A and B are shown apart, each in its own frame.
Chain A
Amino acid sequence: MFDKYLIGEKGFRNVVEDGQTTGFQLEVRIAYYRGLGLSMVEGFEVSVDGREFPRENNLFTLRGRTYTYQQMETEYEEHWEMGEVAQLTVPLPGGLSAGTHEVAVVEYLRVSYVPVITTGRDRKTLLLES
């Protein structure tokens, strides 16, 4: 549910640090009807034009605070609220080329009353913002 709204329409851009392009960023929302503590958000697999970026390397930024995949696993206080926009940063030296890209995200959630890990899936064609 809410899969369609998982990937944000805005905020898709390269990340530049100290003059170096170190990766790219996109906006994500929870594919669920309520918020969850970050320890129950089991990361995001990203693919761009078919190239896959495993969830262990991706960074999650919520309200200005950035978490690694490992840090999220033991974050028991902070909650990702329903419908709240977060940023996902994918390390990629040199970043992505200008223009449009086919972006897909799989979001993994550990929900108490669901016997399996819940997945949210979305795919959008996005224009890289300059």
Chain B
Amino acid sequence: MSGIKRGVSLYSYQEEFFLRKLTLEQCVAVSASMGAYGIESLAEQMMPGFPKLSDAFYEQWHEWMRIYGATPTCHDAFLDTKRFKDRLLTLDEQVVEVTRDIKHAQRLGAKFIRMLVICSPELMERCAPIAADHGIWLGVEVHSPWFIEHEWIQKHLEVAYRVGTDKLGLIPDMGIFVERFPRVIYERYLRNGAHENLVRMIVERYDRHEDVHGLVEEVEKLGGNGEDIGLARTVGHFVSSDPNKLRDIIGAVRHIHGKFYEMSEDDREMSIPYNVIVPVLAAAGYDGYISSEYEGNRHLQDAFPVDSVEQVRRHQRMLSKLIGEQK
């Protein structure tokens, strides 16, 4: 058995929370009931009133953690660089924003902050000492269409190694390992009127991991409609990296996003090879959390009921098996 721990990003339950079918407490409770005790949260999604949360809220939060035996892991920060219509936030203003998030994460009892991939290496470096003073580690999310070897991510890695990986690092999102194009996504394009033959061509091209640059123009020439072209464009935002690349950055990784799009009834992710990923992480000695992050709802909600809880449950069963937990 490896030391990898299981968690959930409450992002997974956004459909149920949006529709007021689950409360924040219920999101925590249902995760813990699956043995996913690491709780990652998004204040701007499920904590109304953020950034002005009351003392009573934080007390309640800690009470829930105690009742359900859960542990806060990560706060997912956003950075509204476009708050003003006519200009972007300056670096100094961004530091103020991140400082606000650092204080929130500390009050939650979380150890990590997920920083958006758009955050600059300069911002990370400026924030590192502030975060460290509050006992918080900042990780830039390696999220598609970025990938580990990308120059931007490598710059972040350089800063993390220079400043110290006890303060800064990376949070790889497993959505950089999309081996097969997610069925749940291309089926929506089909529902919206994409041509079956063109969808098949685009998906096969992706699944063979061929270069998809120029695919939009190619689909246009073949007489594709708006949906066909939309799919051709969408596949260009997906990434199929080799999970072994995780070994190269593992020293800078303290938290992982277990992105998934669709779990089958027999607990397999339809597009991301977790059966390869988890053993790579275990062999590399990773002992942090994998935080399940379901993102299938937005592709289903137009036509089908969404059951995020069942999807997370299947993902958690899969992780438990792959980690080698005792029954």
Contacts and interface: CB of A to CB of B under 8 A. Distances in A.
Interface SS of chain A: loop
A99 B82 CA distance: 41
A75 to B, nearest CB: 10
A39 interface: yes
Given A33-B11, A33-B14, A33-B45, A39 B84 contact: yes
A79 to B, nearest CB: 8
Interface string B75-98: 000111111110000000000000
A20 interface: no
A34 B44 contact: yes
Interface SS of chain B: loop
A40 B84 CA distance: 8
Contact of A2 (B18, B20, B44, B117): B18
Contact of A39 (B11, B18, B85, B116): B85
Given A2-B298, A39-B83, A113 B19 contact: no
A111 B83 CA distance: 9
A110 B85 contact: yes
Contacts of B45: 33-35, 82
Interface string A1-23: 11111000000000000000000
Contact of A83 (B19, B81, B301): B19
Given A34-B42, A82-B17, A1 B82 contact: no
A63 to B, nearest CB: 11
Interface of B: 11, 14, 17-20, 42, 44-46, 48-50, 78-85, 116-118, 298, 301-302
Given A2-B298, A83-B20, 20 more contacts: A1-B298, A1-B301, A4-B301, A33-B11, A33-B45, A35-B44, A35-B48, A36-B44, A36-B80, A37-B80, A39-B83, A39-B85, A73-B85, A76-B83, A79-B50, A81-B48, A82-B44, A112-B78, A113-B116, A113-B117
